Structure 1
Amino acid sequence: MKKLYFLVPGTDKTFFCGGLVAELKILNLAKEICNSELVTYRQREIDTLFLDDILKQDTRDIIFIISWGFDIPKLIKRLKGHNIVYHAHSSGYGFNIPSYIPIITVSHNTMGYWGQKAPHSPIYYLPNQISDEFCNLNLTRDIDVLVQKRKSSRYLLEQLVPRLESRCKVVLITNFVEDITKLFNHSKVYLYDSAEYWGQQNVSEGFGLQPMEAMACGCQVFSSLNGGLSDYLDPEFNCQKIAVYSTDYDVLRILKAIDNPNPNIVSDPSQMLINYRSKKIIERLEVILNQINLFFDHKSNFASDIKNLQKTTKIKTLTKKVWSKLKSYKV
């Protein structure tokens, strides 16, 4: 197997986000399969490889894994001629991926996006990992409702939370929490509403790990269903949808969940989570990496002969359809 280099701009607080955490997790799992290392490309860091230095070496037996959405076009141009894999978290950035670059997607939602936008690229599905630390510790649930301010909608923070605060105990997280597992284990209900946030960014919710982590810890989850969240959330069976019709309706359902938990929703989620734990992801990643290595071996000896569906072709097809309808139209 070729060596894997996972490219990130940096790892300090400047670049800290869910995508970086997910990428570092996959890197650690990849180390169980083949030689894999972290490489930064915007800033040099102690004990970490730097891309400028790597590109001065022989890279024929290296695969570069790129993932940082806004940097992808520049990275593709810079790494032209090398083996590149795009690890796609979110979708909607607007760039195209050429067919010589395999795409690994973290959700079926993202896979569908690239299946339409890059129909001739190798595309694979590899969900993000949920760490084993996220589990039900059977602690006293003395928090009625838990909310994280980051990515939350204005409706959630300005309408729903104030209404709930007068009826039950609400904890609003405004800063980074070192051990959120305990907070999840102390909470009865977790609220997550990111549709507005990602809509403003014009990109999708790539995976949405927080609701899954809360579910793993035994929380009842009220969440939006945008982007990657739709992969695993199933209203009335493992969660409830938030921001439905009116604030009163949300308050009614949340208070009911606090007092009388839905047995379907609070049932043991371990079966559902199996495919998101490290063991299954390593098994899936090994299959994907074997296929990607085979693809790059093939690419080095054969040229692509599948034509892309160009904009001009789309326009011609649409014009023919319109003209056909006009001819068949009778007054």
Structure 2
Amino acid sequence: MRRLYFLVPGTTGKFYCGGLFAELKTLKIAQQVCTAEVVTYRQREADTLFLDDLLAKGAHLDAIFVVSWGFDVPKLLKRLKAQQVIYHAHSAHYGFRLPANVPIVTVSRNTMGYWGQLAPNSLIFHLPNEISPEFSNQHQTRDIDVLVQARKSSEYLLKQLIPALQSQCNVYVIDHFVDNLGELFNRSQVYLYDSAEYWAQQGVTEGFGLPPMEAMASGCHVFSSVNNALADYLDPGFNCHKIAGYAMEYDLHQIMQRVQQQQTFELPAGFLAPYRVASIAQRLETILTEINTFFDLAPTYQTLIPDLTPNRLRQLRMKTFWQKVQKKLLKSGK
């Protein structure tokens, strides 16, 4: 197994976000399979490798660089042209293309489908994010009726639904960074998540949607949008409820019904198994074994499959068009 270098812009302060935490969790799991280290490329940090220093040493044939920060990927690929690279894909629709010699590991099937269409000649794998053990039902007293995070929430949720709920029950709105979400989930009966509007404005997709699954694992009744990767695991009417259902009054009725029932939500047995460390580590070992073999053999390959570039698509469409024209001409000639 080659050494893995997980590239992130930084690991402190302004770089704190769900994507960073998910990437660092994957790094820890990778360390069960092979040697893996974090490498920063925007800010230098004590006791952490820095990309400029690594690249100054030339090609690292015994290592694989893992890139994941969507907007930075095109620039990073140019800098890593002489290296072996994996793209760890979270969100989709960043607008760049990948050469076929860069394997893609996606955190959701939604993102896998996106790259399966855009990069049909690439190696593509699915490796879900981890749901940590802290996200489990502690069966404790729940003093919060409705929990919601302000970040990524829709205008409808914050300005209409939440004010309406506040007149009927105890609503807790998180508007700051929280160190222990698992504790808050275990204090809450209902969790609201409505991110479709946010991601539509960003122009990219919900890459995984950790909070709704973490809330479900902690015993919350989840009311959520089902955009993008959320559709991987959310099943309205069965393990969650679709939020923003036609009218605010409908949402109010559905949410208050769960609040008044005073019952925690229980996921089906085995539902979380694919998202726990043991399963992810096993999948990652299989994926890395295949990718290492690919990098061993790729330099010897000569018959490369043509990429599905915009120019090739135009050629194929033109070819199909003329084939149809020729068929019509043959028919009319008869």
Q: Does 1:297 align with 2:296?
A: yes
After TM superposition, list the pairs within 5 Å mapping 1:122-133 onto structure 2.
122-133=123-134
Match of 1:276 in 2: 275
Which residue identity does 1:97 align to in structure 2? L
Alignment CA distance shift 1:321-1:261 (3 Å): farther
Please list the CA deviations of residues 134-184 of structure 1 after superposition, one character each: whole Å capped at 9, or x if unmatched: 111111112111010011000100111011111111111111112221111
Match of 1:22 in 2: 22
SS of the equivalent of 2:272 reads helix
In structure 2, how many angstroms separate the alpha carbons of the residues matched to 1:37 and 1:150?
Answer: 30
TM-fit CA distance, 1:261: 6.8
In structure 2, how many angstroms separate the alpha carbons of the residues matched to 1:269 and 1:19?
Answer: 27
Alignment CA distance shift 1:250-1:228 (3 Å): same
SS of the equivalent of 1:65 reads strand
After TM superposition, list the pairs within 5 Å mapping 1:1-331 onto structure 2.
1-57=1-57, 58-260=59-261, 266-319=265-318, 324=324, 327=328
Which residue identity does 1:258 align to in structure 2? V
Q: Could you tell which deviates more after superposition, 116-125 or 303-312?
A: 303-312
TM-fit CA distance, 1:226: 0.8
Which stretches of structure 1, 4 residues or more, deviate above 6 A after TM superposition?
none
State the superposition RMSD in angstroms: 1.9
Which residue identity does 2:6 align to in structure 1? F
TM-fit CA distance, 1:238: 0.5
Which residue identity does 2:151 align to in structure 1? R
TM-fit CA distance, 1:321: 5.2
Kept after mapping to 1: 8 A contact 2:119/2:308: no
Kept after mapping to 1: 8 A contact 2:216/2:266: no
In structure 1, how many angstroms separate the alpha carbons of the residues matched to 2:95 and 2:135?
Answer: 34
TM-fit CA distance, 1:211: 0.4
TM-score calculated relative to the size of structure 1: 0.95
Aligned length: 328
Which residue identity does 2:217 align to in structure 1? A
Which residue identity does 1:42 align to in structure 2? R
Percent identity, please. 56
Structure 1 gaps, min length 5? none
Which residue identity does 1:198 align to in structure 2? W
In structure 2, how many angstroms separate the alpha carbons of the residues matched to 1:86 and 1:303?
Answer: 23
